[in-house]
Amino acid sequence: MTTIRHIGVLTGGGDCPGMNAALRALVKAATHRHGIRVSGFLDGFAGLLDDASRPLGFDDVSGILTQGGTILGASNRHDPFRVPVPGPGGPTYRDRSDAVLATLARHEVDALVAIGGDGTLRIARQLGARGVPVVGVPKTIDNDVGGTEVSVGFDSARSIATDAVDRLHSTAASHHRIMVVEVMGRHAGWIALEAGVAGGGDVILIPEIRWSYEAVARDIGERTARGRRFSIVVIAEGAPRPDGGTVVREIVAGSPEPVRLGGVGAVLAQALGAILPFETRYVVLGHVQRGGAPTPSDRILATRFGAAAVDAVMEGAWGAMVALRGDRIVRVPIADAVAEPKVVDPEGELVAAARAIKTSFGDGVSST
């Protein structure tokens, strides 16, 4: 057993339901089972760069199980290995990871737990290469972190998106409209696929399956011929247009992930409106998917991950990420988890099941 007296923890990347549940479990397991002090660094890696932290004890995490977001704050703009420095010709970037090491040493932090998605975990891996004893906890609504079947936040986002699809059925049917629902998912279509299946979406468009306006219109036309006077289309924000490229909402200079997607739902709705004799409307769920209380499944998963992260720390499993495999919590190397995103298998069982019930993926593949 490694001698541990003080654990640091941060929540990086985008916020999502379940982050507080993971913090609560980590703090309670560390203090109750091991008598270890815990400090939370504020706003992701910004807290390590700026030496901003707060102590976390039993009372600090009491009552946060059901709260969305994170009491520590989160940020996807601070990469200590690539900090922007303003200049006359635009920003340049420098490595300030020494400041992170100095902060950890100043506070006598024996281990760091990073709760986040692929960006946060990549930085954690780099810090590990610099000698920081680090353990990862996967958190992302996109569910694209490798090595784990599910990440904290996905079930909540899926539930929110499913509820939206459910609610749009009645208004689409009443007005005989095509309703396009744009959900999050930059590189992976898990939310669109699973919310689309769960909500009875007629067309599901994801980054992993190439689609065309004509194929979508044809499949909606077939529904019309069967007497269905409305259709629901669920599309991931990262689904590329048929003519190539994703739809970009804005570029955020200085961010580790400067390209912000959004708008493909509007593009699709306009295209379908020009082809089909239906009114077409679109809805962008956006950050609604990140908000609100976590589902019971996310609360349970986050609790298991938080407790397992403390076990990994106590056993000196540096460079490991806790993960769900089947019904067991296991450890996988962070390096393996971030090697490539976990994406939807176009030939997978869920896609096949959706095709079997005549769900369209806009690719012209027959469902029969």
Of 92, 56, 130, 147, residue with least CA distance to 334: 147
What is the percentage of the chain residues whose pLDDT exceeds 70?
Answer: 95
Of 136, 129, 48, 128, residue with least CA distance to 96: 48
The Cβ of residue 167 has, within 10 Å, a number of other Cβ atoms equal to 14
Lowest-pLDDT range of 33-37, 250-254, 351-355: 250-254
Question: Is the pLDDT score of 367 beyond 60?
Answer: no
Q: 110-143 as b/e, with b when 16 or more CB fall inside 10 Å?
A: bbbbbbbbbbbbbbbbbbbeeebbbbbbbbbbbb
Of 346, 330, 353, residue with least CA distance to 149: 330
Catalytic, 60? Answer no
Determine the Cα–Cα distance for residues 336 and 122; give it in Å rounded to an integer. 10
Determine the Cα–Cα distance for residues 171 and 279; give it in Å rounded to an integer. 12
Query: How far from 278 is each of 176, 182, 218, 234, CA to CA, in Å?
Result: 7, 19, 13, 17
For 46-74, what is each residue's pLDDT tens digit? 999 999 999 999 999 999 999 999 999 99
Question: Is the pLDDT score of 94 beyond 60?
Answer: yes
To the nearest whole number, what is the mean pLDDT of the chain?
Answer: 93
Helix (H, G, I), strand (E, B) or coil at 283: strand
The model's pTM is 0.93
Task: Tell me the H-state helices in 200-295.
Answer: 213-225, 264-275
Mean pLDDT, residues 362-368: 75
Q: Tell me the pLDDT band of 244, cut-offs 50, 70 and 90.
A: confident
What is 6-152+294-337's CATH topology? Answer: Rossmann fold (3.40.50)
Out of 15, 79, 118, 142, which one is annotated catalytic? 142
Instruction: Give residue limits of the domains in the chain.
Output: 6-152+294-337, 156-291+345-356
| Predicted pLDDT of residue 85 | 86
Compute the C-alpha angle 329/335/341, nearest 5°.
80
| Predicted pLDDT of residue 257 | 65
Query: How far from 260 is each of 6, 207, 246, CA to CA, in Å?
Result: 37, 15, 10
CATH of region 156-291+345-356: 3.40.50.460
